Amino acid sequence: MSEFAFLFRGRDTTASPEQMQRTMEKWTVWFKQIEGQGRLREPGHPLEHAGRVIKGRERIVTDGPFAEAKDVIGGYIVIEAKDLDHAAELAQGCPIFDVGGSVEVRPIERI
Amino acid sequence: MEDIEHLFRRESGRLVSILSRIFGMRDLALAEDVVQEAFCRALEVWSFRGVPENPSAWLMATAKNKAFDILRRRQTALSFESELAYKIDTESSLAPTIEQFFEPKAIQDDVLRMMFSCCDPGLKEEAQVALILHILCGFSVSEISEAFVSPHSTIEKRITRSKKVLAACEKLFNITSPQETSLRLRAVHRALYLLFNEGYHGSSQEAAIRADLCREAMRLTSILLTHPQGRTPTTYALAALMSLNSARLPGRVDGSGNLQSISKQDRTKWDRTLISDGMSLLEQSAAGTALSEYHIEAAIASIHVRATDTDQTDWKTIVTLYDRLLALRRSPIVGLNRAIAVAQLEGPERGIRELESIVDRDRLVGYPFYFAALAECELLRGCLGAARDRFRAAASLARNPMERSFFEQRLSECGIEDDAI
């Protein structure tokens, strides 16, 4: 068994209240499912969208991340899976795809 | 935990109403943005952490913080409400002032104020209803156009234009002024009535959407009843007719989702709680001398729910009530309903004569239920060919598949055509 980080990207800011509620309910179901299989290692955190980016030798500080809505990382969790294929399979049910978002699956290297 | 089935939609109306008092009607878009942001936050946080114990309070606190940030950044005092401008002159007084806006009593008034604001005399009735659905009930443009079976662009234009009319209001509607509220109360009643009717008789084939519209109309009417100026006999009558009619909603479709005519409905499915609520509201509506069209419609509905079947229904009183309703509201639809009651009372021949002599009958030529009523009368008096023709006409005018299959079912019950054999 190995650990994997799921990085969630993208959100729909134009959805109606009803749609947002439906989306939220789908997330709850999906989380419960992952948890019920005993796969959730760290429940992770949602990330706020405002932040700062510090860049380069000059350490220039800008408000950010200012990426397109679809590229902003909205949160992360850590799950447990047999291998990368299995982890990617677990990500299939994530409701983020309904709003055009993506899940980045990254093996965690434990030293 | 409180009922959260349509939590976001409901909270949207409350929060926009509160924030519109803080930012003014001119900045309604800002209020809507703040609410949208609060929902986005909730979506993310709740997805990860589950829905909090008190989700309404969570959303309200989030919206409050955002409003606070915006006001703190603003240099200019707000001019739309002099009292507020004065209070937030110094930063230290800002927080307690904002707190006051979010007190439960204030919120109830804000929702009412928004209801009256949406019924601006500068707006057409259809625009008022669309605004109420959009702002107070949290329906998106797409959801409204789906409910009204209207093109998205039509509804979008209607809402955008109406918001401009609201934005032109220098002052907030004064909910505490008996003069202002009584002047506009009639329009508010009418808008809520139309909202309810869109759900009850509407053209959307989605039973869920229509039930939603009825529920929202009832919810807003009950809020109106909490206000001293809103709590009039006419408001009680409106609430009564909504309860008594929606009590019959569960019987209007059969097990397979098909429309049922009233004579075939399973009356055990009617909602007893709504019926008893409706009856006591009807009693309360009788205080005073006012006799509105809603009083009469509620009285008609009360006769239907009291009867065990169509034969036991007091059609004589219903016809009399329709006569009085016609005197108040000269509408061919009322004329149609009256003619149907006459047919029940005096037989199909008389019914057909009444149907053919409805005032402004030409306005019913596109209405499927007019032809269905004619067809039912023809069927009753044994003219099967004429009945079939009329049911076919009704089916061709059906506004959705559910109506069409209902008319086609009735058509098939007229027997096989002679010339087809």
A36 in reach of chain B (CB within 8 A)? no
Domain count, chain A: 1
- A31 to chain B: which residues are within 8 Å by CB? 47-48
Say yes or no for a CB contact (<8 Å) between A16 and B139: yes
Higher pLDDT, A74 or B1: A74
Give the model's pLDDT for residue B379: 92
The strand pairing partners of A61, in sequence order, are: A54
Give the model's pLDDT for residue B285: 95
Say yes or no for a CB contact (<8 Å) between A44 and B48: yes
Say yes or no for a CB contact (<8 Å) between A19 and B140: yes
Q: How far is B304 from chain A (nearest CA, A)?
A: 35
Mutate to test the interface with B, among A12, A18, A49 (most CBs of B within 10 A): A18
Would you say residue B4 has pLDDT above 60?
yes
Would you say residue B420 has pLDDT above 50?
no
Please write the tens of the pLDDT for every residue from B141-198: 998 988 888 899 999 999 999 999 999 887 888 888 889 898 899 999 999 999 999 8
Mutate to test the interface with A, among B11, B46, B47 (most CBs of A within 10 A): B47
Give the model's pLDDT for residue B96: 79
Q: How far is CA B353 from CA B110, B321, B343, B373, B398, in A?
A: 51, 19, 9, 12, 24
| Range(s) of the domain holding residue A103 | 2-107
Say yes or no for a CB contact (<8 Å) between A13 and B40: yes
- A24 to chain B: which residues are within 8 Å by CB? 8, 42-43, 46-47, 51
Mutate to test the interface with B, among A21, A35, A73 (most CBs of B within 10 A): A21
Residue of chain B whose Cα is closest to the Cα of A76: B48
Give the model's pLDDT for residue B148: 82
Say yes or no for a CB contact (<8 Å) between A28 and B40: no
Confidence bin at B1 (pLDDT 50/70/90): very low
A11 in reach of chain B (CB within 8 A)? yes
Give the model's pLDDT for residue B318: 95
Dig out the tokens for B75 from the structure: 């240099």
A46 in reach of chain B (CB within 8 A)? yes
A76 in reach of chain B (CB within 8 A)? no
Residue of chain A whose Cα is closest to the Cα of B143: A16
Mutate to test the interface with B, among A14, A20, A24 (most CBs of B within 10 A): A24
Would you say residue A55 has pLDDT above 70?
yes
User: Which residue, chain included where needed, has tokens 């919206």?
Assistant: B63
Say yes or no for a CB contact (<8 Å) between B48 and A43: yes
Query: Exposed, middle or buried by CB within 10 Å (0-12, 13-18, 19+), for A102?
Result: middle
Please compute the mean of the pLDDT values over residues B311-339 and round it to a whole number: 93
Cβ neighbours of residue B239 under 8 Å, at least 6 residues apart?
B218, B221, B222, B225, B278, B281, B285
Say yes or no for a CB contact (<8 Å) between B47 and A24: yes
Burial B82-110 (b: 16+ CB within 10 A, else e): eebeebbeeeeeeeebbeebbeeeebbbb
CATH number of residue A17's parent domain: 3.30.70.1060
CA atoms within 13 A on the CB side of B237: 22
Please write the tens of the pLDDT for every residue from B191-213: 999 999 988 887 777 778 888 89
Q: How far is A78 from chain B (nearest CA, A)?
A: 12
Per the document, the length of chain B is 421
**Across A16-30, A84-98, B86-100, least confident range:** B86-100
Give the model's pLDDT for residue B311: 83
Say yes or no for a CB contact (<8 Å) between A20 and B50: no
When CB atoms are compared, the residue of A11, A18, A75 closest to B48 is: A75
Alpha-carbon distance of A45 to B29, in angstroms, equals 30
DSSP track, B302-362: HHHHH-SSSTTS-HHHHHHHHHHHHHH---HHHHHHHHHHHHHHH-HHHHHHHHHT-TTGG
Please write the tens of the pLDDT for every residue from B215-254: 999 999 999 999 998 999 999 999 999 999 999 888 777 6
Say yes or no for a CB contact (<8 Å) between A16 and B45: no
Q: What is the pTM of this model?
A: 0.86
Confidence bin at B90 (pLDDT 50/70/90): low
Give the model's pLDDT for residue B81: 53
Say yes or no for a CB contact (<8 Å) between B48 and A31: yes
Give residue limits of the domains in chain B: 292-364, 365-421
